[in-house]
Structure 1
């Protein structure tokens, strides 16, 4: 049983930036992306404030976000690391399976990764992660080094959008 407590807020700043970006995309008619909540079962609830102080996850989550970008179905997960690596243990097998199935249906799956040590955000295609994932399963490296992240997919801000990741989706689609 996985419990939700203080660890549940990891990556919340990244998710706030993504949520703000997605709101701007919707307002501009560029994309419709929804945050997928992880179902939880409350254990402790403060009766006065109705705040949940302890809960457990009812089921495994799939991805953080799902939606459509100008006719293209997309799903993605947000990952943040304070290290020089993205640990693959932060990506779960059920997420990889969901993303693989999503792409088999013609959608595009990816990760938005924030390396806080460098204050840099990246679009990382699912297929790139999948390659590292397979090598790790076969006994290889269990992380992706920062220096191996494709700099072509660095995410910047533009037109009032702090994490303008649509440009990287376009670049990826054009390169397919």
Structure 2
């Protein structure tokens, strides 16, 4: 069953606020852009802005695709190995994104990396991502919430992906290579790398 009119309107408003904010950040700079300017550009009141995002910082940091990714992960068949299910869910979500959504996500990631206060605050958001993934893994594996192995696995996945991406902010190829390396138990060979 699809989303109702009210839910679709909320999603459109949220997307409009974020799109206008990213446009203003690119034009004026993150620090120079106010919530009031974002609200005006999105044709909403500042109080409406705060109903959608608790702060300007959270507008940038919150990853709207994490819950979608977890849902896609949980929808994978039970007999599919966990890392394969995770990879398939990422491929599905990124594959369903429009070019505009991909561009907006790239702009969001670049902004986070370019603004020191956002880069530092991203640690809290990464912890939220790890929590979401750990809950999804625990549920998939029939383990209790907060399970140590599920949490460690989620941290290893998120850390591996973050470490592998570098400046390739949304490279599915690099994510796949990182997950393969993780699945193989991080096998370093003895050859010298130049």
Same fold (TM over 0.5): no
* Higher percent of residues as helix: 2
Larger radius of gyration: 2
| Alignment TM-score, normalising by the size of structure 1 | 0.31
| Alignment TM-score, normalising by the size of structure 2 | 0.29
